[in-house]
Amino acid sequence: MASSDDPSHRPLRSFGRIKSRAIKPRQAALFDTLLPSITVPDPKAGPIDPAVLMPGAAGVWLEIGFGGGEHLAEQASRHPDVLMIGCEPFLNGVGSALRHIDERDLKNVRLHADDARDVMAALPEGSLDRVMILFPDPWHKARHNKRRLIQDETTAEVARLLKPGGMVRFVTDWKDYAEWALARFERTPGLVWQAEAADDWCVAPADHVITRYEEKKLGDTPPIFLDFVRSA
């Protein structure tokens, strides 16, 4: 029987490059000094208990693919009593996030510099108050759609992890991906779309944090916001 580490049994990679250029010296130093102290325990070694990561946290949020870490750091700054778990395989983005965390002296952030799905599998049921998925790789070509992060198994895992009343927010600036994601979230038992009018998905929520990536306007539509809440 093939082991769980057999590449043929791993999910398709839903992200592109893991590094694009040399990491700046200051950020490289933070990989050695700061990252070890805030790294999420190896999810392949066993279950992850959020209460151990930050005892007494008022809530637990997970950001899947935090890019340069601007959104993650700002939300952590706004909610210092909430444990923020951020996952990002792109090392340049991890370096940027470390800089934000260091500059703001954030104590409530824990990072996983790899595939978020490993962390999700290791978290207990009903352990998250919020899941944030902002501008994931759209994988435009039809033959690459299978690499998109949002698949039926992913949305089912999100529903498993959310507490009753917990929310997942998906944001994209590609119309096709918005339609793709909406279809999969809507058919996931336990997740209820919160939109009642067009403004609910066309206008940024009050707590949204605009990042440099969003400002580049690389997609084919203004950002589309899909919020779902876990039913009881």
Tell me if 120 sits within 8 A of 161, measured CB to CB: yes
Q: Which two tokens stand for residue 135?
A: 């501008």
- Both tokens of 176, joined, read 């096709």
63 SS3 class = strand
Q: What pairing do the DSSP bridges indicate for beta strands 109-112 and 82-87?
A: parallel
Residue type, 19: K
Strand-strand pairing, 59-64 and 128-134: parallel
How many angstroms separate the CA atoms of 31 and 29, rounded? 5
Tokens, residue 217: 């306007």
| Residue 137: active-site member | yes
**114, 115, 129, 137: the active-site residue:** 137
Active centre residues (catalytic): 137
